[in-house]
Amino acid sequence: MVVSEIQLRSATIKDESLLFKWRNIDDLVALSYHQKKVTLSEHQQWFKRNLLSSDCELFIIQLDNQDIGLIRIEAVQAECEITIYLIPGNEGRGFGYSALSQALEDNSIRCNVYIAKVQVKNIPSQNLFKKLEFFETFRDNSFILYKKPYILV
């Protein structure tokens, strides 16, 4: 499996419409935490708040300089919540693993614990977080909560 072509770049204001388009892709909405599409106004508020926040980093995942996904790392008290998605057609090839590994190493937000909320039906994301040594701390009929302590290297 070759994943060396995966790069991360910080999101900029120019990415607002791209991320809005991605956010409302049916396949991604179905696997998202809230499972609903967002309005342009909702997205603009979310995007500007997160882009300007020192407690949030938005990374665009690139494959050979093409934008293929997003990683969000947001500090909430002592925990950092992670969101990751790849646009359809880019799953199952190790790109998420490579990108999230880089983001965990390179982000400037420091916290005690990384967390991820994953739908029970989202097996690829479950496998991704397990492969990155996150451990399951809670499960109900809809979601699994994964955690990983931050380790200073």
Query: Where do the structural domains in the chain lie, given as residue ranges?
Result: 6-116
The predicted structure's pLDDT at residue 146: 98
According to CATH, the topology of domain 6-116 is: Aminopeptidase (3.40.630)
Q: What is the pTM of this model?
A: 0.92
Q: If you count them, how many residues does the chain have? A: 153
- Which pair of structure tokens corresponds to residue 3? 């994943």
The span from the CA of 119 to the CA of 112, in Å, is 23
Residue-by-residue pLDDT tens, the chain, 153 positions: 444 489 999 999 999 999 999 999 999 888 887 788 999 999 999 999 999 999 999 999 999 999 999 999 999 888 999 999 999 999 989 999 999 999 999 888 888 899 999 999 999 999 999 999 999 999 999 999 999 998 765
The span from the CA of 14 to the CA of 2, in Å, is 29
Cβ-contact 111, 152 below 8 angstroms: no
The predicted structure's pLDDT at residue 20: 97
The predicted structure's pLDDT at residue 2: 46
